[in-house]
A and B are shown apart, each in its own frame.
Chain A
């Protein structure tokens, strides 16, 4: 049963938009997509760490991927939050919009294009060639869980 599910969703990606560019991440990493609720700021954090939200009683940190990737062309009060399961805890990532869920077989993915990408190569999964466009595939869970968003470090 478990295997069937994995087989079924292995090639499924959630396609989303960040400032006119198209990205996709493995669907299994994304738990839900929500509208942006009221976000409360947290001191000592990097500018793209937007703050915390109340997700049905759980406190979840939210990162604005558009600020993080230095994109210019967006409206900061618009967008959606992808709630991502990263290393057992939840992190929210703000994107401009969500397009679709697509089946992308691994044969369609070029894992080694000579491209400059926004994410570190470690979390860049490749470029998917679709009939009408190219989609950047990123391991969004891995990227968010390995990063340190603190502006000041612990004084130990």
Chain B
């Protein structure tokens, strides 16, 4: 296979995946009764595109399947086929077929799959009694011609409206790897032309100003005022370039939300529930890595909401609720955080049952007093599940503990709001960007370290609180009636201990895994926006060290994770 051939095949797979995601949203809109010609034209064009381009790059079977899908869509578009739930189900099955085919091809470009089953199902629709009049091949062709202004039958029609930016080094693609998900296909990110133009423009300006600065050096008659002015302008440009560069990784949550439509539809169909998913804030942008990681967690939360949260029709009737249940999925940005909110109008969490289960499982000591938030967060514990029988929908794959873990990994947080009989909301807050954090710079011995401000509950001066030393347990302090252990950062980071005479240091209070700990440092220097830098492989896996940073003075520093020190499982905690 020559390079060009390989290149267009890979491009096709990347594009086709995007098209399928769009098609899925459209199918569900069709099922809801949306029959606008715009929507139908659009979805027809998607299938047509995959068929045409697939054929052109030599994926014949794939193209064949798309062709059958196209036939059915043509019939719907021409009002020759009545749409009902079963038709959409078959369409979605066809879509799934295409998707798994493409996944297979991503792993191995010689991948083939038997599509005869789904092909004949699609054909059957066209001969069922739902058909007003069988669509002929000619009509499909004429329809395609109608659309040719927008989509000629050549693969060139697939030129995307936005530029592609290389997100990673190309993989070794000559040797297709056998396992699934093996990334033979390079990762791409859709970036708006606008952002790229801004970036190019700024870099151009930067180059011009740099040459002005260079000429200053050779020209002694230039006043230093002039040089300072140029420098100030360069500073501004650099700040702008940094801003734009950071947004390059950001993509709208729309595709993620569209995927959720499908999840809710599948659950409600399976259980005969009538659930409407409403989405809000689809334009909100998040780091691409965060979106990818959150996909599974969000899927689980929505399945859970549809499966456990929403009552069945009977129960809703008895409770005097409307027959149609609703789940709201929304995204909004507030300051430096993105909030993803999933709320249902179902039965709400059962505080007593969760608490009882928590005691049964040994997570809670009988008789202990917990506030609501503490009780509800029990559902995030590994091995906690209140639904007795494991259903096909919620009882497999990721659990709530994995949801929590994912959100924590993304440096975010989950809150639960619930009212019995009224519904439940999960509020996930995520940082806007993974590559810039607000950092607290502290001194431990003669070294400076960075601690993410997001991990800090508060900072205290040790000479203002009562510290007690207990042999065998270590030092504790009494903070407003709460007893909190003190860990010495010097000990944790292997630096010599302070001499007794030194003034008491400062405490960084953090809490994780339900434990609150105060870390003793020698000095709190200040806060700074920190760009997280990768460390070399030789520094991977050092306890509590999660990355590097260049500090204000141009010196390198290490970023510490207090949460990792608190994590008992790691075994580093004092």
Q: Do A and B bind each other?
A: yes
Point out residues on A near B: beta carbons under 8 Å: 38, 40-44, 49, 52-54, 57-61, 87, 89-91, 147-150, 152, 154-155
Contact partners of B535 in chain A: CB under 8 A: 52, 59, 61
On whether the beta carbons of B570 and A54 are closer than 8 Å, the reply is: no
A36 to B337, CA, bound (A): 40
On whether the beta carbons of B550 and A44 are closer than 8 Å, the reply is: no
Among A38, A41, A43, A147, the residue within 8 A (CB) of B542 is A43
Closest to B548 in A: A59
A87 to B448, CA, bound (A): 29
Q: How far is the CB of A156 from chain B (nearest CB, A)?
A: 9
On whether the beta carbons of B493 and A43 are closer than 8 Å, the reply is: yes
Contact partners of B533 in chain A: CB under 8 A: 57-59
Instruction: Indicate with 1 or 0, residue by residue over B537-574, a CB within 8 angstroms of chain A CB atoms.
Output: 11101110100101000111110000000000011100
A89-B536, A155-B570 known; A54-B554 Cβ under 8 A = yes
On whether the beta carbons of A154 and B541 are closer than 8 Å, the reply is: yes
A38 to B447, CA, bound (A): 12
Q: List 10 contacting pairs A-B, 8 Å CB cutoff, sorted by A.
A: A42-B539, A43-B494, A43-B545, A44-B493, A52-B556, A54-B555, A59-B536, A59-B550, A61-B536, A152-B543
Contact partners of B557 in chain A: CB under 8 A: 40
Closest to A152 in B: B543
Centre residue among B539, B554, B571 by max chain A CB count within 10 A: B539
On whether the beta carbons of B495 and A43 are closer than 8 Å, the reply is: yes
Which 5 A-B pairs have CB atoms at the shortest separation, nearest pair first?
A: A59-B548, A43-B493, A54-B556, A155-B571, A154-B541
A41 to B449, CA, bound (A): 11
On whether the beta carbons of B548 and A52 are closer than 8 Å, the reply is: yes
Q: Is residue B534 within 8 Å, beta carbon to beta carbon, of the partner chain?
A: yes
Contact partners of B550 in chain A: CB under 8 A: 54, 57, 59
On whether the beta carbons of B558 and A42 are closer than 8 Å, the reply is: yes
Contact partners of B538 in chain A: CB under 8 A: 49, 61, 91, 147-150
Contacts A52-B556, A59-B556 aside, 6 further interface pairs with beta carbons under 8 A come to A42-B545, A44-B494, A52-B548, A54-B556, A61-B535, A147-B538
Contact partners of B545 in chain A: CB under 8 A: 42-43
Centre residue among A43, A57, A148, A152 by max chain B CB count within 10 A: A43
A43 to B533, CA, bound (A): 18
On whether the beta carbons of B543 and A44 are closer than 8 Å, the reply is: yes
Contact partners of B555 in chain A: CB under 8 A: 38, 40, 54
Closest to B543 in A: A44
Q: How far is the CB of B48 from chain A (nearest CB, A)?
A: 43
A48 to B558, CA, bound (A): 19
Q: How far is the CB of B495 from chain A (nearest CB, A)?
A: 7
A149 to B548, CA, bound (A): 17
A58 to B533, CA, bound (A): 7
On whether the beta carbons of B539 and A61 are closer than 8 Å, the reply is: yes
A87 to B540, CA, bound (A): 14
On whether the beta carbons of A40 and B556 are closer than 8 Å, the reply is: yes
On whether the beta carbons of B542 and A44 are closer than 8 Å, the reply is: yes
On whether the beta carbons of B536 and A150 are closer than 8 Å, the reply is: no
On whether the beta carbons of A91 and B536 are closer than 8 Å, the reply is: yes
A11 to B536, CA, bound (A): 29
Closest to B541 in A: A154
Centre residue among B495, B556, B571 by max chain A CB count within 10 A: B556
Contact partners of A58 in chain B: CB under 8 A: 533
Among A40, A61, A152, the residue within 8 A (CB) of B447 is A40
Contact partners of A148 in chain B: CB under 8 A: 538
Centre residue among A53, A149, A155 by max chain B CB count within 10 A: A155
Closest to A91 in B: B536
A33 to B378, CA, bound (A): 56
Q: How far is the CB of B436 from chain A (nearest CB, A)?
A: 14
A52 to B572, CA, bound (A): 23
Contact partners of B571 in chain A: CB under 8 A: 155
Closest to A38 in B: B555
Contact partners of A90 in chain B: CB under 8 A: 536
Q: How far is the CB of A102 from chain B (nearest CB, A)?
A: 29
A127 to B447, CA, bound (A): 42
A42 to B343, CA, bound (A): 46
Closest to B492 in A: A43
B residues 499-539 near A (Cβ < 8 Å) are 533-539
A49 to B548, CA, bound (A): 16
A26 to B385, CA, bound (A): 60
Closest to A54 in B: B556
On whether the beta carbons of B556 and A87 are closer than 8 Å, the reply is: no
Q: How far is the CB of A42 from chain B (nearest CB, A)?
A: 7
Closest to B547 in A: A59
On whether the beta carbons of B556 and A53 are closer than 8 Å, the reply is: yes
Among A43, A54, A60, A155, the residue within 8 A (CB) of B536 is A60
Closest to B550 in A: A54
Centre residue among A60, A147, A148 by max chain B CB count within 10 A: A60
A54 to B554, CA, bound (A): 7
A149 to B536, CA, bound (A): 12
A152 to B543, CA, bound (A): 9
Contact partners of A154 in chain B: CB under 8 A: 541, 543
Contact partners of A149 in chain B: CB under 8 A: 538
Q: How far is the CB of A68 from chain B (nearest CB, A)?
A: 13
Contact partners of A41 in chain B: CB under 8 A: 447
Instruction: Indicate with 1 or 0, residue by residue over B351-387, a CB within 8 angstroms of chain A CB atoms.
Output: 0000000000000000000000000000000000000
A148 to B427, CA, bound (A): 43
Instruction: Indicate with 1 or 0, residue by residue over B61-76, a CB within 8 angstroms of chain A CB atoms.
Output: 0000000000000000
Q: How far is the CB of B536 from chain A (nearest CB, A)?
A: 5
Contact partners of A38 in chain B: CB under 8 A: 555
Contact partners of B541 in chain A: CB under 8 A: 150, 154
Contact partners of B556 in chain A: CB under 8 A: 40, 52-54, 59
On whether the beta carbons of A87 and B570 are closer than 8 Å, the reply is: no
On whether the beta carbons of B542 and A150 are closer than 8 Å, the reply is: yes
Closest to A49 in B: B538
On whether the beta carbons of A155 and B493 are closer than 8 Å, the reply is: no
A42-B542, A43-B494, A59-B556 known; A87-B537 Cβ under 8 A = yes
Closest to B553 in A: A38
Closest to B446 in A: A41
A103 to B554, CA, bound (A): 38
A54 to B531, CA, bound (A): 13
